A and B are shown apart, each in its own frame.
Chain A
């Protein structure tokens, strides 16, 4: 959680002037260009779920996917390189924040299209089942995704074929600049999942211990071959939709309450009560800051991709170099 927070704080700083939206102007000197979607305040969901996964398990993520990627074990240095658009980035600078991926740790990609990761996760789980692998797929998506068709289609498919998928609805209560509740009929993600025959649990997504425990229970059921499960983790999007969005459309009291419910100090207090020393906790934060500081230095120093790279990894048959 500390590593995710430190990474996103640094990325946010480096992205000032990075995109012309919400009245902000584009700056020529910006280091992180384009939309940067921060999961600040939502770290407990990524950390609590991924702590239950093995290296062989796979995940799919969303446009707000830094936390999931870090929690699955990706290198912060290579991630920062990707946000800077450098050749050292985990996608070689071809994807950026919205498409960040690290297949070496089983992270099959963030996705710029809401709910698009759901069918991909289902297919990956289907492949694991056909290839008789023991692993599962954790599929992260937001509250907005439950209003798209692939949510219904993907959960139905996973249930029909009893696939090893843990669906994780990371409910931050905002769909871009619109409150999701105002646009969503019925009782939300878990009720819809149960209607399709996918059982699950609702949990306080800002309580990393609760997320961890709920994920443990659901992951055990998925691993036992009982079919897909859904974890509905209720959290809050502390920042705007993208880093330049001041989110002035929200009630200040709502945001203040959310800031009081920050999952990181809450987890620290629980750890202190359980006997962790203040020094040990301070050390965790310090190490995260150091790691991210080194990642910023490395990303700044790294080389840009070769322009010729824009013609590679497209297709082997009829690639972009082909004339006409």
Chain B
């Protein structure tokens, strides 16, 4: 056990994978200097510039080259800096990485991990603050992972690096400096949610940067006589349907909360599934369908608040 930040925990998982498997390589902008969030710090010194590869600002080719590397026997980790920049590589993610195995009839596989950080990043405005996880969950062929704490970031990145599928790995930009005790050998399987708080009256499903506000809202709800069970989904595709349905079957009420825009967000998928399967009331809390503004006042308008989650829990 060691006390590590969310960024350091991811770095540790990657370091262990690179030490164990020479096929694991990292490519992206500024990775040699540790990445702009420090999530690759020390790796180039340890493994060399050939395996921790600084690249030009060429998102399409960073992702496309990773597909070629994977088809030719490597396990690339692709740094995209923020999900917003990965939009320059959407053909390579959606048409190439996600499709290659299927459309070539299983002749090749694309075992890559693409790191596409999500979330509002204070003061960074409309092109550096989006939470686009639902876009990727929609695409057959992709796995979508959204860790919410240092321990999960270590364990889920390790699991992603062992997965043979293309993984869209979405860390939250406002969690990088969050610290906690991390056991680097702890295992968390992909597709398994975590019940963070037991409750009897309502099931609250969330992930990534919304986990902490959700826990705060659940605490506040207790004082108002409502006991909320809080589930951190951790993996959006495949999402842990069994855990969510079992919880909702007991509480008979569901709230899904996420920072992403509420309209067509992944919460809609969960809410619809629970409503179809159990016929119980469902509610969604999500961002307004507005770009994230720069000014403090405008940025706040794009965030979902503890108060908004609490209000849904109490209804």
A118: B residues at CB distance < 8 A: 61, 64
CA distance A89 to B104 in the complex (A): 10
Cβ-defined contact, A91 with B92, below 8 A: no
B166: A residues at CB distance < 8 A: 315
Considering the complex, which residues of chain A in the window 51-94 have a beta carbon less than 8 Å from any beta carbon of chain B?
A: 58, 60, 89-94
Q: A210-218, A227-235, A316-324: which one contacts chain B?
A: A316-324
Q: Is A108 an interface residue (CB 8 A)?
A: yes
Q: Is B25 an interface residue (CB 8 A)?
A: yes
In this complex, the member of A89, A126, A128 whose beta carbon has the largest number of chain B beta carbons within 10 angstroms is: A126
Q: Which residue on chain A has the smallest CB distance to residue B25?
A: A130
Interface string of A96-116 (1 = CB under 8 A from B): 000101111000110111001
Cβ-defined contact, A95 with B104, below 8 A: yes
Q: B37-45, B50-58, B126-134: which one contacts chain A?
A: B50-58
Cβ-defined contact, B68 with A315, below 8 A: no
Q: Is B288 an interface residue (CB 8 A)?
A: no
Cβ-defined contact, A323 with B165, below 8 A: no
B50, B58, B163: the one contacting A156 at CB < 8 Å is B58
Q: Is B95 an interface residue (CB 8 A)?
A: yes
Chain B contact residue count (CB 8 A cutoff): 51
B103: A residues at CB distance < 8 A: 91, 94-95, 99, 109
Q: Is A123 an interface residue (CB 8 A)?
A: yes
CA distance A124 to B71 in the complex (A): 7
Q: Which residue on chain B has the smallest CB distance to residue A111?
A: B96
Q: Which residue on chain A has the smallest CB distance to residue B107?
A: A103
Could you give 27 example pairs across A and B, Cβ below 8 Å? A89-B105, A90-B107, A93-B105, A94-B104, A95-B104, A99-B104, A103-B108, A108-B68, A109-B100, A116-B91, A119-B63, A119-B65, A119-B67, A120-B68, A120-B71, A122-B61, A122-B68, A124-B71, A130-B51, A153-B61, A154-B61, A157-B61, A312-B106, A315-B140, A318-B143, A318-B191, A320-B140
Residues of B within 8 A of A (CB): 25, 50-51, 53, 55-56, 58, 60-61, 63-74, 76, 91-92, 95-96, 100-108, 140-143, 163-166, 190-191, 237-239, 241, 269, 273
> Shortest 10 CB-CB distances between A and B: which pairs?
A119-B64, A123-B68, A318-B238, A123-B65, A91-B105, A92-B105, A127-B72, A313-B106, A153-B61, A153-B58
Residues of A within 8 A of B (CB): 58, 60, 89-95, 99, 101-104, 108-109, 111-113, 116, 118-128, 130-131, 149-150, 153-154, 156-157, 160, 312-318, 320, 322-324
